[in-house]
Chains A and B, each alone.
Chain A
């Protein structure tokens, strides 16, 4: 809960208290004392609306003070014991002290005082079924209630009275008398009169040397009770004891306080499970239209793939068809000795070369042919005709065949001119 909210429950009303405001809701019980179903629904709606109005988020805890009807107070003496042992001993004592088994009780305890030999414990208990309707109502409102006895809660906020006495709280129709022994609460009585019928107070029998009242207004209304003077007990600066919370456990077949507390992880786990189960379907629901649209778009452009293949094949063919004319001319120029002149050179795309020219002498013809072969680009170099001329030179007619691309040597790099 983000804001402060406090509930107070008595026989006829459920009061929702906020910081500066309160909402009193009638309980409207039927003849058997059970809150009717329609009233329950009304209570849930009203509480929810008021929580929303005061911007109080559900799912949190809230203190619910209950009146003394049905509440039993006991002071039990227990030997000192560790925590687990203490609980076990306390349960045994509860079984002995109360007519109902502890499982059917909502109960809480507080250690009043202890020494090396003994500890005194105050136990408050109420039949669980009396709280059950409120547990269900609060559960429907998304609230986890901490039930506490209103009389003890009030007393904790007043100065601690000394000696045997009684603390009287006057309500509208009922009053509550908390009896003190040795400075600690010992019993709780609900009186059938209140501010509305104060005259009935005269018939009350009280055996207490002092009576304290919880507020100044009551002190004015009731100066004496059964001949005992009533004085107001002043408020304490701070609470002198923590609230005694009544624990509700094990109410089979119904929503219980502990169930309410453990519902959140269950809801989370269930949501997670639903999410996991629904995910494949949600995925299909969301992604299928998108994928279908994308596929139809891609299929529309799939014809383009064939065109790309055709383009690549065409360009590859074009590249492969380019004969290396420049490279062949470079190799011939490099192999030709100085003074060589070519009358004609003919080169075909498939690498067939025919050349006619003049070289210095027969040795140069041999050297030229050797160099062409050594270049590693020509598979056969044939001197078809070699004729000496009157000027002591040699006219030659040669042919050569270009090797396949994979069989050729790399071109020699030309040295830079100095």
Chain B
């Protein structure tokens, strides 16, 4: 059955109705879509703010890392890689090696463990040798690869070997694990 042809007036009415319904649907759908998108955008803004805060927090560490690298190269040491259990033994061996490398004759060595403060142990080390070797040893102790602080130096003439000096060193071995951030250097 063929459908009746619509009159122009009916066509116009249908067209207007379709436009109105379409406009309503577009506006309603658009509003819902906008609400969802706006919420999503708000979430994105928060993420951006978070990222910006994080960036501000991280940015100074670019310089800090460079500075830490320089210090590590100076002391030839990475504190994170120090073995806590064998630290004193390895440091003691390194001191004796530095003494030998400088041309000193190593004497008695006494270790005493420290249970307080920042030190892992205190090492008393006696050695003797000519003046240039003494100076070389003092210089080498800074770069043994272990956190050593020379607490005191006592030099006296070696009566048994003319021209030689006796050197008595008190060396502290610092312990990175015991390190507390609030403590400040007092030297």
A contact face: mostly helix, strand, loop, or mixed: helix
Contact string against B for A residues 275-288, beta-carbon threshold 8 Å, 1 for contact and 0 otherwise: 00000110111011
B154 in the interface, Cβ–Cβ < 8 Å?
yes
A308-B65, A309-B181 as given contacts; A284 in contact with B71, CB under 8 Å: no
Which of A84-92, A211-219, A322-330 lines the interface with chain B? A322-330
On chain B, the number of residues with a Cβ less than 8 Å from chain A's Cβ atoms is: 48
Q: How many angstroms between the C-alpha atoms of A319 and B74 in the bound complex?
A: 9
A39 in the interface, Cβ–Cβ < 8 Å?
no
Q: How many angstroms between the C-alpha atoms of A45 and B184 in the bound complex?
A: 85
Quick one: closest B residue to A284, CB to CB? B44
A304-337: which have CB < 8 Å to B? Answer: 305, 307-323, 325-326, 329
Cβ contacts under 8 Å, A341 to chain B? 157
Which of A53-61, A289-297, A379-387, A390-398 lines the interface with chain B? A289-297
B147 in the interface, Cβ–Cβ < 8 Å?
yes
Q: Across the A-B interface, how many residue pairs have beta carbons closer than 8 Å?
A: 128
Which of A110-118, A234-242, A344-352 lines the interface with chain B? A344-352
Of B78, B118, B153, B185, chain A has the most CB atoms within 10 Å of the CB of B153
A343 in the interface, Cβ–Cβ < 8 Å?
yes
Identify which of B41, B138, B155, B174 contacts A318 (C-beta below 8 A): B174
Contact string against B for A residues 108-128, beta-carbon threshold 8 Å, 1 for contact and 0 otherwise: 000000000000000000000
A11-46: which have CB < 8 Å to B? Answer: none
- Smallest distance from the beta carbon of A132 to chain B beta carbons, Å? 15
Cβ contacts under 8 Å, B187 to chain A? 320-321, 323, 349-350
Which of B19-27, B50-58, B86-94, B100-108 lines the interface with chain A? B50-58
Please tell me if the beta carbons of B138 and A325 are within 8 angstroms of each other in the complex. Answer: yes
Cβ contacts under 8 Å, A318 to chain B? 75, 147, 149, 174
Cβ contacts under 8 Å, A298 to chain B? 54, 58
Cβ contacts under 8 Å, B155 to chain A? 342, 344-346
Please tell me if the beta carbons of A309 and B79 are within 8 angstroms of each other in the complex. Answer: no
A305-B61, A316-B185 as given contacts; A287 in contact with B44, CB under 8 Å: yes
- Smallest distance from the beta carbon of A387 to chain B beta carbons, Å? 18
User: Contact residue range for chain A?
Assistant: 35 or more
Please tell me if the beta carbons of B149 and A284 are within 8 angstroms of each other in the complex. Answer: no
A417 in the interface, Cβ–Cβ < 8 Å?
no
Identify which of B44, B68, B156 contacts A344 (C-beta below 8 A): B156
Please tell me if the beta carbons of B47 and A288 are within 8 angstroms of each other in the complex. Answer: yes
Cβ contacts under 8 Å, A281 to chain B? 37, 40-41
Q: How many angstroms between the C-alpha atoms of A342 and B176 in the bound complex?
A: 38
A312-B71, A325-B153, A347-B152 as given contacts; A295 in contact with B41, CB under 8 Å: no
Q: How many angstroms between the C-alpha atoms of A79 and B154 in the bound complex?
A: 126
A319-B74, A349-B149 as given contacts; A295 in contact with B174, CB under 8 Å: no
A172 in the interface, Cβ–Cβ < 8 Å?
no
Cβ contacts under 8 Å, B184 to chain A? 317
7 contacts between A and B (CB under 8 A): A284-B43, A298-B58, A305-B57, A313-B179, A323-B150, A326-B135, A347-B153
15 additional A-B residue pairs with CB within 8 Å, beyond A281-B40, A288-B44, A350-B187: A284-B44, A298-B58, A305-B58, A309-B64, A311-B78, A311-B79, A311-B80, A312-B68, A317-B174, A317-B183, A318-B149, A325-B138, A343-B156, A344-B155, A346-B153
A interface residues, Cβ below 8 angstroms from B: 280-281, 283-285, 287-288, 291-292, 294-295, 298-299, 302, 305, 307-323, 325-326, 329, 341-350
